[in-house]
Structure 1
């Protein structure tokens, strides 16, 4: 096992040609679209990205990290958002305590699980894997790049996931749906966040959709993320196809407000804002009360969606063309581009106003939304329709 407090040289996966087995997605465009705030034009960035299947020998993996130690020298592999300035990026998760652009310090405070050692194992985890956005948009879609022939070719028998995926019903729905879609026969192994798995032959797919898990100093930028339109559209088609088969005889409101229950981590003046939009004919929905496929159809039937920024907006990918959406961004993350990018891909008209945080330096600070600002933008959007 590696040593407590050991300093490691970083090997970025986009530079590790020697570990590449084959290309799953060619060097095609991925995009990032800055949010439209107060009618400003979107900034659209594109770059080329290749997605590959890699093999790492004798790997030590933590189920919630997109990096791992491997090989006889205990080298450290890390994955990054290519194009993002590393001075602003913080990828410290799992056993990685902190890092700069070339080196990282690791910690050894986990139980080591050796029972996975002799398996040919696909690792499907990573930074933020227990978050709905990261799971639906970044991690689970990797399954849609895999075929039964690929598993047979490399004798891959097992799939390692964080145990939380087993406990969250919506996450399980997505996992089973994608495995069924690709006709993949593979045994799933769930591992606890407090343990490290040792795998002799670890197969890994770099992210096709990705954004900086945590940033520092500069809290957001459209350069911090990229999304593949082709992969998003495949996720959309698979989920909508299944939802339309299973969920029957239920109607959904055309105007929905994404409401939060009182125990939410980040709060704002929801009562005031919600009361106004209820008067405008919106229905308050709490997505945690819906199963995954019902969420798919809820967004697919909506014509106007309003709510605070958060993982719930991942469901934008299920919207119909020309759906309208209105949200707000605290000033300190005003360039946060994930949901504006998803909206652009499905041709949803999504616009934002700025909210005013209690702590401008904290991305998760409570904040205030000015009713006159949001009501004016809402009226402008209705007039444009």
Structure 2
């Protein structure tokens, strides 16, 4: 209960500061004064200016082009609703840092020598983001409110960080964090790999990381903080806004053009292992991606029944070994399923594969999978679904006739007669 009181007290203090006269005066109130008040009141809350970590880099990864394209979801039958936005190629920086604190569920980095705070740059406006996690409480007027943890500190001599926002999620690990290992060309074996504890027993991570790294792995719990004497921190090659308050748009994604190189390397890593697995599996060409742990609730029972009646194999990737998942996607000519982390596996599909997915309108123009599909030459269509509110994790209803008719139309347009059954 004491912890609850402390959290409520800290939140109230943040709100008071945000809407107070001092906040309006802005720079006339030094953040150092706020820290002094916090110390006098014996709270752990600290306030600091923060620096984009890219400003201290001494090495960057060369991009293969000046600009990249972000693609909006392509609604089947409504090509006029599709948009493409050309943006600057995202830089990748390799930072070598000394005596730094690393936080497992945020991009927060603190120089333990002078308490200066660094974060990886966000392309999305701070006012539209939810920064709150176990340590970051708020970002207000270019100041970061955070709780330095001095209780659960684990010391590591040499470390490579795969920690940060979303580092417990399959999509983010596959396309944001694991590529960091790929882009570090130096000998990595003498370093400890810092990984979110969610991947401790995940065969996908264990298999792929084992192909890229042969050193010690430290699985970090949410409340731990790692103090690293010598830290290698690589900025993400693919940026996707995490925890946004409002609907997504195309500006919420950026990537370095060499992410295509990483996707190619991924497939090359798997090719030899997949040869035998593909021979073992019955080659289903039509697959429905089910989700037993669905958080975006919809009428999945009726939708899955329709798909099954049309000859789709119903699979739940959360119940299958990693190589089995990849073999299924490599065999598929037509996959169907809601947006979610399992859709990340479209990067393993053959060029020309057809996909059908959906998300309700509260998600806006969420560009992650539509852009990935374009990069991998997968033809991914979306269904248009209205949401019942602004919460993109809320429940929705997918019209079953609309779903059924769209599958029929796609099969008629893109699949041969033999492939439809």
TM more than 0.5: yes
Out of 102, 114, 127, the residue aligned to residue 61 of structure 1 is: 102
**Aligned-partner Cα distance in 2 for 1:93–1:56:** 24
State yes or no: 1:135 paired with 2:173: yes
**Aligned-partner Cα distance in 2 for 1:291–1:80:** 35
State yes or no: 1:239 paired with 2:289: no
1:65-104 alignment, distance < 5 Å: 65-82=106-123, 84-100=124-140, 102-104=142-144
Structure with the larger helix share: 2
State yes or no: 1:192 paired with 2:226: no
| More contact order relative to length (CA 8 Å, sep ≥ 6) | 1
1:136-151 alignment, distance < 5 Å: 136-147=174-185, 149-151=186-188
**Aligned-partner Cα distance in 1 for 2:101–2:307:** 50
Deviates more, 1:188-197 or 1:335-344: 188-197
Which 4+ residue blocks in structure 1 deviate beyond 6 angstroms? none
**Aligned-partner Cα distance in 2 for 1:200–1:74:** 15
TM-score after normalising by structure 2? 0.81
Out of 252, 262, 268, the residue aligned to residue 298 of structure 2 is: 268
Q: 2:7: which partner in 1?
A: none
State yes or no: 1:172 paired with 2:206: yes
Q: 2:155: which partner in 1?
A: 115
Q: 1:318: which partner in 2?
A: 348
State yes or no: 1:8 paired with 2:48: yes
CA change 1:30–1:89 in 2 (3 A) is farther
Q: 1:203: which partner in 2?
A: 232
Q: Describe the SS at the equivalent of 1:65.
A: coil
Deviates more, 1:273-282 or 1:31-40: 31-40
Q: How far has the Cα of 1:260 moved from its partner?
A: 2.3
**Aligned-partner Cα distance in 1 for 2:237–2:367:** 16
Residues 92-141 of structure 1 deviation map (CA, whole Å, 9 limit, x = unaligned): 4341111146211002456332432xx12211111111111111111112
Indicate if the aligned counterparts of 1:81 and 1:225 stay in contact, CA closer than 8 A.
no
**Aligned-partner Cα distance in 1 for 2:273–2:83:** 33
Number of residue pairs the alignment of both structures matches: 366
Q: How far has the Cα of 1:55 moved from its partner?
A: 2.1
1:264-343 alignment, distance < 5 Å: 264-343=294-373
Give 5+ residue unaligned stretches, structure 2: 1-38, 415-421
What is the aligned-residue RMSD (CA, Å)? Answer: 2.3
Q: How far has the Cα of 1:370 moved from its partner?
A: 0.8
**Aligned-partner Cα distance in 1 for 2:309–2:49:** 58
**Aligned-partner Cα distance in 1 for 2:313–2:412:** 21
Q: Describe the SS at the equivalent of 2:386.
A: strand
1:220-239 alignment, distance < 5 Å: 220-227=248-255, 228-239=259-270
Residues 291-346 of structure 1 deviation map (CA, whole Å, 9 limit, x = unaligned): 11111111111001111111110000001111111111111103111011111111
Structure with the larger strand share: 1
CA change 1:101–1:131 in 2 (3 A) is farther
Out of 360, 374, 378, the residue aligned to residue 403 of structure 2 is: 374
CA change 1:74–1:110 in 2 (3 A) is closer
**Aligned-partner Cα distance in 1 for 2:272–2:139:** 43
Deviates more, 1:205-214 or 1:170-179: 170-179
Q: Describe the SS at the equivalent of 1:26.
A: coil
TM-score after normalising by structure 1? 0.88
